[in-house]
Amino acid sequence: MHLIIAEKHDAAKRIAQILAKTKPQTQRVAGVDAFRFDDKVVMGLSGHIVGVDYPADYNNWQKVDCKELIRAEIVVRPLQEKIIAALKTLGKEADQITIATDYDREGELIGVEALKIAKEANPRLLADRVRYSAIVKDEIINAFQNAGKVDFDLAASGEARQIIDLVWGAALTRYISLTSGKLGKEFLSVGRVQSPTLALIVDREREIQAFVPQAYWEIFADLEKELRVQHAEGRIWEKEKADKIIANLGPEGIIRSIETKPRIDKPPAPFDTTSFISAASGIGFSAANSMRIAEWLYTNGFISYPRTDNTVYPPSIDLRALTTLFTKGAFAEEAKKLLQGKMVPTRGKRSTTDHPPIYPTVPVEKSDLKDDQWKIYELVVRRFFATLAEQCVWDATSIKVDIGPEPFRASGARLIEAGWRYYYPYSKAEEHILPELKKGERLKVLGHVVEAKETQPPARFGQGKLIKIMDDLGLGTKSTRHDIISKLYARAYVQGNPMRPTNTAYAVVDTLQKYAPTITKPEMTQTLEQDMNRISERQIKEDEVIEESRVMLTSVFDELTQNQEGIGQSLKDGLRTDKIVGTCEKCGSELIIRRGHRGSRFIGCSGYPNCRFTLPLPRSGAVIVTEKMCEMHGMNHIRIINKGKRPWDLGCPHCNFLEWQARKAQMKDEPKKPQAKEAVKATAKANKAKPRAKAAGKSKGASLGDVPGIGPKTLEKLTAAGIKTAQDLARAKADLLAEKTGISSKKILAWQSAAKA
């Protein structure tokens, strides 16, 4: 029997369907689905089925010296017991095994992990490797006809990354968390790539805060023929000079020169992972979400492999034939127009041989995909078309006008050939048409405007921009950068997009930059990334790179241990500010987020025990104190972040508590239908807070305020989304409403149940 191993279940199913002459049969092996046809069985993994870890003796943070972790034994632990059992069962039956996981460092390691397990069950297995960049018929068949050898060196570079990241992350995270007293679910994570990335965000925020705006003035004049011109000096830095220019202006302007020449916008380069994430960010997708959707599209055969550094199409792709596939369907008009041109592809700066740039593999109807999947798919299709299109050509006109002794200017642009912009509307450029003018023409001055402005601080990093900077600095890889950013959000180091660091981020970065600056700079991780690449190129051994990383980490710990007292105090001082919510209305002391003996969290007065004012908080999730302030109670609004879920904006904790109390009192006085009770329970579970209830509206046009669990703030969100009555709520699609409002679909379903009661 010939056993074929794919990286995921869906990929295995598609590969089996492509290779089989008839429909493959689904076979259940140790609780895992495999696909059998002829003498072949295709089985999908679930990413890594084993992982590196420390022995159980090292699990106790307080009893194990953090520095011991640097050279502690590393063991391999099973992560997917059922898949491992299925591999062993099928491995015993097989005489040949083909690794068909994704072709990159991580995919090679996943394949080698599976191969080792299968060979434990059957050492006589013959192994080979297929490599492909799209799960489509021609490419899969070609890959299996040209199978090669497993690349153990590439897998070794992936394993080196796993071990290095484990050692650095575990040792530093434990040290910083123990030193600061932040343990349990609120530990402070530190990482080889994560920390220099966080430092970039914090340093940018410091630039913004330290920025001193400088005043300047811009002068505009309005002339006949609806012509607005600006003073040629642009920004004028002295008010007196601006006043002098205004005093010099005469009653008419004279056209001194008119110059028109073509301006060319070159088509964009093909998508690599970094430019794809950046473009997806521009249409509202987070880095992690855009990659998740792209991977789904790839696995289902709609686009090529989305993890690539390549920006040059290889000759093996028949670009004209591929475009011809799109002459039917949603992009038929664009494809037909494109085929009439020269179709010379653009070339980016990077050319690699592992995978091509990201491109669409087959046409898909919009109705076959969810809205977010279609948006990403359409982005890939339109970028592909744009890279094959002609240049965009403009007529750019500049004019010079004298008003008295003062020089003014204006510029305009007329689109002559849309070129690639016809296919790619995401990169906007608007026409600005100037009126018909002649040199020497005199135009009456209708008025003037002096605009007082200030220079602006540098912008915060959006996710797309940060990914680009990480790429430029060699921080992480195309496969890991979006995960690093997700971790920064999950650990409550940053919030919003563009990203703003929390006080916790400041505390960690400030402390590390002061006492162990190596951790926050990109040079160290750059060196290790380069060495891991050298492993795959057979220039250095895996053990040598791991040892090099341990030596680096030892020197970092020497810095840390010499300054442990200062580090602890610095972290505690910085972290305390992230817990302050406001001022106690009873005694004027600070209100601080605290945790009780049994794990509960609350806001308590720092004047305790003299003042016992408290407010409850949800038990789970990272608590973020936002900048938004409640005018009534003088308290900062709270946001709760749970991994894998939408952030929950709790709002002012005091307002939230009073609202809950009012609803609780009303519950005692009003009868509740069973359905309403269940809805209240569901809402409470979703909120992870105390239940709020109100009798459901009985009439079809009942007010939203009568639905259990809907308070004033939620009412505003629903009304803005077009939900005005309980009947509107009951009829709405929960998932779509969740997207519009940011409210979890679970809550909405609970409210809908109550609204129908």
- Positions annotated as catalytic residues are 305
Rg, Å, the chain Cα set = 31
Contact 679, 754 (CB under 8 A): yes
Alpha carbon 189 to its chain centroid, in Å, reads 19
Nearest CA among 478, 474, 398, 599 for reference residue 197: 474
- Alpha-carbon 69 to chain mean position: 31
Measured distance CA(572)–CA(367) in Å, rounded: 54
500-501/580-583 β-pairing: unpaired
Per-residue burial over 577-607, b if 16 or more Cβ lie within 10 Å, else e, is: ebbbbbbbeeeebebbbbeeeeeebebbbbb
Contact partners, residue 42, CB within 8 Å, separation at least 6: 4, 6, 12, 13, 15, 16, 19, 24, 34, 35, 36, 100
Q: What CA–CA distance (Å, rounded) separates 63 from 58? A: 8
**Contact by Cβ (8 Å): 251, 239:** no
Instruction: For strands 32-37 and 40-44, give the pairing.
Output: antiparallel
Residue labelled with tokens 């002098």: 244
Is residue 452 within 8 Å of residue 305, measured between CB atoms?
no
Structure tokens at 737: 């409403």
Nearest one of 618, 601, 254 to 406, comparing CA atoms: 254
Owner of token pair 């194990």: 64
For residues 80 and 343, give the distance between their C-alpha atoms in angstroms, rounded to a whole number. Answer: 47
- Candidates 388, 341, 402, 399; CA nearest to 360 is 388
